[in-house]
Structure 1
Amino acid sequence: MNSTEELCHSVLHNCKTIKTLKQIQALMCKAGLDTDRLLAGKLLLRCAVSISDALDYACRLLFQFPYPDVFMYNAIIRGLAESDTPQSSIFSFVEMRRRRSIGPPDSFSFAFILKAASNYGSLRAGIQLHCQTVRHGLDAHLFVGTTLVSMYAECGCPRSVKKVFEEISAPNVVAWNALLTACFRCSNVKGAVETFGRMPIRNLTSWNTMLAGYAKAGELQLAKMAFLEMPMKDDVSWSTMISGFAQNGCFYEALGFFRQLQRVGIRANDVSLTAVLSMCALAGAVEFGKILHGFMEKAGFLWIISVNNALMDTYSKCGSVGMARLIFERMPTNKSIVSWTTMIAGLAMHGHGKEAIQIFNDMEASGIIPDGISFISVLYACSHAGLIEEGCKYFSNMIEIYGVEPAIEHYGCMVDLYGRAGKLQMAYDFVCKMPISPTAIIWRTLLGACSIHGNVELAEKVKERLYELEPNNSGDHVLLSNIYAVAGKWKDVAAVRRSMSDQRIRKTPGWSVIEVDKIMYTFVAGEKGDKITEAAYEKLREIMSKLRVEGGYVPEVRTVLHDIEEEDKEDSVSRHSEKLAVAFGMAKLCEGSIIRIVKNLRVCRDCHRVMKLISKIYRLEIVIRDRSRFHSFKDGSCSCGDYW
């Protein structure tokens, strides 16, 4: 091996960009090494597997090489199998089989092509390839058999999984782990437990597979027991517990595992950090999010794009869109499309429609092509800011310029755009002309718009469509009852309530969450009993009295869903969960603190008016995240401009 050949082998091992790879290829050509099978194979492998944007170039190189071998084809099949279009690898496999000079496929060929069938969920292709492995005597090969187990699991065939595994003569721990994963993929938790008990040897991956499987199945107590029994744990174990509990809505437990992780001295990774940040975003825990932000900055995580994206999302969903914007502007220059879309979505949910559009335009100018999710975000921004012309333009551009096929979410944004603006007939006509069948969510969006604008006639039409799709949805019944109540049609209100009672449909209770001293407190509408709730009621009575005297407050009772006395109606609206949460925050937080609240339902008109008055009379800033957007109350006005 001469010095040039040694140099090519060495630099290929460390090659990370297509530009460098082309320079190495040029050197090989100049030195007459471009026909060297070993070097050409390594070049192809690096190109197809290790460099993200070089797969097409690798395919061209393969067809230019005069005498390709099985190794070269395997590299291409592997690269395509792991790409966004795994089915393309089938064509390369077929081409290899047609070129008889290459020789028969080996165990790697079948392992890679079976992985492709698994990745695009084609049972038909998987069975045909299984037959090919039998024909070539490789079906019982350890490597191939393990991939067959994974393929049948991914395609939902538990019987075939069991049969293939039993045909492996001496399964190793990797094969056992594949069977373990297959049980969880087929939703067979009991089978996974039995398999785990039968395993002759377990490694760390085995334990981590059990943790991940339990967490995905929602079996958190079993996950916790397995975690405690583990002989040793790595960062994957901890990340699995943190993300598993976070994704199942167990906020405090997820944070508890994160704190333990720090105490035992294991360095947190980007997976565990993004999981905890996601949970902070969900719960509106901005103070804990700030602590994590400081930790990440000190630990040097802020160069990771995904961590920055999670931080932006957390600050946006916790009501600090200014901080989210600051992180976005300080990010490395190679922002991903997720970064841009996260920032657009953050501005959109805060009602900053024009700023969101500017970011979208900047993204286009930077050379990043918007995808379907980007368009959902910008359409959402137009909808919540009342920018009808702009929304229609982006919907049109999405189809005509970028060739993005509208999904149900895009149609939903357009219905919301027309509906919020009061163009209810246009929204109804748009739904009727949609090329795909409207879902319950589409009709529910329109029903919500009818509720906002008090259109009883159209609401009844829409409700008929909803009854066909989801007859037992409590929210639909409540919306229709609300529309009747505002119109004073108490007989119709009674009929809807009676229907709910007969069908045993219960209204979703309203709840609100507030963070005080890094502890999350939850208030449920109308609930009484504990000391915390009683303290909130006591403060609320004081606040409401002051609002009446100094702000001329008169309760907005039109939306109360019962034909009851005015005094009872006033009492009903005064017990809404966001009022209790604000009162508790005012009693417990330091003077001048921003009160941040997360609510599961849409803010009602009365609560919206109360928040504006509180912000003016008490000189407070209140931020509420309801089901669809943010409301920032300051000096007697709201960021939504009363458009929500």
Structure 2
Amino acid sequence: MNQLKQIHAYSLRNGLDYTKIMINKLLEIPNIPYAHQLFDLMPERTSTLYNKLIQAYSYNGPQKQCFSLYIQMCRRQIFPNPFTFTFLFAACTSLSSPCLGKMVHAHFILSGFKFDVFVLTALVNMYAKLGLVELARKQFDHMLFRDTPTWNSLISGYVKCGNMEEAETLFKLIPFKNVISWTTMISGYSQNGKYLDALNTYLLMEKEGFKPNEVSIACVLPACANLGALEVGKTIENYARRKGYMDNLFVRNGFLEMYSKCGKLDRAMQLFNEIRDRKNLCSWNSMMMGFAIHGKYEDALQLFHVLLREEMKPDAITFVAALMACTHGGKIAKGQELFELMNYKFGIIPILEHYGCMVDLLARKGKLNEAYNLTQTMPMKPDSVIWGTLLGACSYHGNVKIAEKAAEALFELELSNSGNYVLLSNIYASVGRWDGVAKMRKMMKGSLIAKTAGYSYIEVHDEMHMFIVEDKSHPRSNEIYSVLEDVYCKIMKTDYGNESNLYCQIDG
């Protein structure tokens, strides 16, 4: 920067014009204000220099400057080109302004560049990222030629609004997929809780010969964590280390979270310590949450205090992890202290998840009346998770009165969830309230509510399989049941002697 200032001073003293070179160099640094000052001193300005300044503001901000420059450009009768509109569409996206986006779109149409695939892709991308996916689709359908980035932009738009069905349809139709296409789908499945689809898409991407990048790995790791696909996760870690992706903090935090959720806390802690002074709050939260959900409440709370000693500022998720630790440790007093501390000392207003933790903490220790009273004094309405937690605690502690109140709230929130009816029926049965059991059965029958079949996952050779009881959907189900029958026979022989062969049958 000092060298550029010296060159600028030299050019002024000697009457030389290095302005264009100076502006280009300043935008590379970038020092946009200095470049803009030099630009304003130029008597003759070109569309190329306007575009470079607009691009710099579009990427680095403030984006509003892009439109000031564009207006100035039009007033000077310096005609824009397709690149001008590409950068303006990006600025509209950064400003989250559909109104500005539509105005720039109108100017683009009047300019006569409507068949330029590069700028049309930017237009589709803008509408998709602004959540106006119908307008993005309209532009997409009118394009005579589409390249892979165009398809990716629209797919990303559908992913963002949660329409994975339409995203899947488009993904299958792409003539030429790239890593971004696959990663967008993996990310979409993970964000929408379709973890098995996310993992299978990642594995298929590898099978098709595409090499996952850092973003692909960061997107698939939540799926591994939530499915408990530990072996697949280890394989991905080996690949990430070979490629040097472990230097990426997002990737390393993803592995940390995966090992934490899968119960490999020693490995998670090893990764946590490897990050050293590069740890961010996500690193601390993931490690704390791992300790909390696996009952290591003392370790979670100790980590919380270390975090405070290192002058890291906790956020809402940090306190969710801390309160969960108190819940699993049965530490009511500590939980109440933290619940008050978060607002009093750190200015964090409790949200639904924090109240959920407190209800769970009280309910687990049998303080069901206090837990119920908390649901009535919360500043927001309890959700199905909170009421479900209270109902589950009532089942354990045999409290029919509060169970009925929790179930009544759940029936309104989840009318077709059979599990709530079954749980309340079991609570009635545990105390001999057979009239209540009959009532639940009648309600389920009258509302045509069937008990939902539970399913399980099993990981075999880096692949996840989902199954239910007596499932025969797997193409090798006959072999599977044959092995199960053999295992069952051996168990019966061990427990009951040779005579158990008479009973060695599996109802397939």
What is the TM-score with the length of structure 1 in the denominator? 0.59
Question: Within the alignment, does 1:485 sit opposite 2:429 as a pair?
Answer: yes
Question: Within the alignment, does 1:89 sit opposite 2:63 as a pair?
Answer: yes
Alignment partner, residue 90 of structure 2: 115
Question: Within the alignment, does 1:185 sit opposite 2:129 as a pair?
Answer: no
Alignment partner, residue 482 of structure 2: 531
Letter in 2 for 1:178: T
The Cα of 1:219 is off from its aligned counterpart by 7.6
The Cα of 1:311 is off from its aligned counterpart by 2.2
Alignment partner, residue 313 of structure 1: 257
Alpha-carbon separation, structure 2, partners of 1:161 and 1:295: 36
Letter in 2 for 1:75: A
Question: Within the alignment, does 1:452 sit opposite 2:400 as a pair?
Answer: no
The Cα of 1:350 is off from its aligned counterpart by 0.7
Letter in 2 for 1:508: T
Alpha-carbon separation, structure 2, partners of 1:450 and 1:348: 23
Letter in 2 for 1:455: N
The Cα of 1:145 is off from its aligned counterpart by 4.8
Superposed CA offset, 1:459-496 (max 9, x none): 21122222222222222222222222222212212211
Contact 1:324–1:343 (CA<8 Å) still a contact in 2? yes
Question: Within the alignment, does 1:126 sit opposite 2:101 as a pair?
Answer: yes
Alpha-carbon separation, structure 1, partners of 2:216 and 2:269: 23
Alignment match of 2:196 (pick from 243, 249, 252): 249
Alignment match of 1:346 (pick from 290, 303, 326): 290
Alignment match of 2:307 (pick from 355, 358, 363): 363
Alignment match of 2:411 (pick from 457, 467, 472): 467
Contact 1:285–1:520 (CA<8 Å) still a contact in 2? yes
Q: Tell me the SS of whatever aligns to 1:485.
A: helix
Q: Tell me the SS of whatever aligns to 1:431.
A: helix
Letter in 2 for 1:503: S
Q: Tell me the SS of whatever aligns to 1:331.
A: helix
The Cα of 1:43 is off from its aligned counterpart by 3.6
Describe how 1:27-426 pairs up with structure 2 within 5 A: 27-29=3-5, 32=8, 39=22, 42-43=25-26, 46-47=29-30, 67=40, 70=50, 71-72=52-53, 74-80=55-61, 89-90=63-64, 92=65, 106=80, 110-118=85-93, 121-130=96-105, 137=111, 140=114, 142=116, 145-155=120-130, 157=132, 160-161=135-136, 173=146, 177-178=149-150, 181-182=153-154, 185=157, 216-217=164-165, 235-236=179-180, 247=194, 249-250=196-197, 253-254=200-201, 257=204, 260=207, 267-274=211-218, 277-331=221-275, 333-426=277-370
Contact 1:245–1:253 (CA<8 Å) still a contact in 2? no
The Cα of 1:138 is off from its aligned counterpart by 7.3
CA pair 366-65 structure 1, distance change in 2 beyond 3 A: farther
Alignment partner, residue 597 of structure 1: none
Alpha-carbon separation, structure 2, partners of 1:238 and 1:183: 10
Alpha-carbon separation, structure 2, partners of 1:259 and 1:141: 35
Alpha-carbon separation, structure 2, partners of 1:447 and 1:276: 34
Alpha-carbon separation, structure 1, partners of 2:197 and 2:483: 21
CA pair 525-235 structure 1, distance change in 2 beyond 3 A: closer
Alpha-carbon separation, structure 1, partners of 2:124 and 2:463: 46
The Cα of 1:341 is off from its aligned counterpart by 1.9
Letter in 1 for 2:93: S
Alpha-carbon separation, structure 1, partners of 2:101 and 2:346: 34
Letter in 2 for 1:399: N
Q: Tell me the SS of whatever aligns to 2:415.
A: coil
Superposed CA offset, 1:510-554 (max 9, x none): 4444557767676745879923444555566678889xxxxxxxx
Q: Tell me the SS of whatever aligns to 1:509.
A: coil
With 142-151 and 312-321 compared, the bigger mean Cα shift is at: 142-151
Contact 1:181–1:213 (CA<8 Å) still a contact in 2? no
Contact 2:124–2:140 (CA<8 Å) still a contact in 1? yes
CA pair 252-122 structure 1, distance change in 2 beyond 3 A: closer
CA pair 94-349 structure 1, distance change in 2 beyond 3 A: same
Contact 1:344–1:359 (CA<8 Å) still a contact in 2? yes
Contact 1:284–1:318 (CA<8 Å) still a contact in 2? yes
Letter in 2 for 1:489: R
CA pair 382-302 structure 1, distance change in 2 beyond 3 A: same
Equivalent pairs, count: 470
Q: Tell me the SS of whatever aligns to 1:383.
A: helix
Letter in 2 for 1:388: I
Contact 2:257–2:290 (CA<8 Å) still a contact in 1? yes
Structure 2 residues not aligned, in runs of 5+: 13-18, 42-48, 473-477, 498-505
Q: CA RMSD in A?
A: 4.7
Contact 1:114–1:129 (CA<8 Å) still a contact in 2? yes
CA pair 250-396 structure 1, distance change in 2 beyond 3 A: same
The Cα of 1:276 is off from its aligned counterpart by 5.4
Letter in 2 for 1:474: S
Contact 2:196–2:227 (CA<8 Å) still a contact in 1? no
Structure 1 residues not aligned, in runs of 5+: 1-23, 49-57, 81-87, 188-211, 547-579, 581-644
Describe how 1:506-585 pairs up with structure 2 within 5 A: 506-513=450-457, 515=459, 524=468, 530-535=481-486, 537-538=488-489
The Cα of 1:456 is off from its aligned counterpart by 1.2
Contact 2:323–2:358 (CA<8 Å) still a contact in 1? yes
CA pair 461-293 structure 1, distance change in 2 beyond 3 A: same
Letter in 1 for 2:394: C
Alpha-carbon separation, structure 2, partners of 1:104 and 1:436: 56
Contact 1:243–1:254 (CA<8 Å) still a contact in 2? no
The Cα of 1:355 is off from its aligned counterpart by 1.2
Alpha-carbon separation, structure 2, partners of 1:527 and 1:101: 68
Alpha-carbon separation, structure 2, partners of 1:66 and 1:402: 46
Question: Within the alignment, does 1:505 sit opposite 2:449 as a pair?
Answer: yes
Q: Which has more helix, going by share of residues?
A: 2
Superposed CA offset, 1:305-362 (max 9, x none): 2332232223223222111112221235312332222212211111112211222333
Letter in 1 for 2:56: A
Letter in 2 for 1:473: N
What is the TM-score with the length of structure 2 in the denominator? 0.73
Contact 1:303–1:332 (CA<8 Å) still a contact in 2? no
CA pair 319-494 structure 1, distance change in 2 beyond 3 A: same
Superposed CA offset, 1:37-91 (max 9, x none): 754565456448xxxxxxxxx67x78988948955465234324xxxxxxx734x
Contact 1:446–1:462 (CA<8 Å) still a contact in 2? yes
Alpha-carbon separation, structure 1, partners of 2:100 and 2:167: 34
With 310-319 and 516-525 compared, the bigger mean Cα shift is at: 516-525
Alpha-carbon separation, structure 2, partners of 1:146 and 1:76: 20
With 117-126 and 348-357 compared, the bigger mean Cα shift is at: 117-126
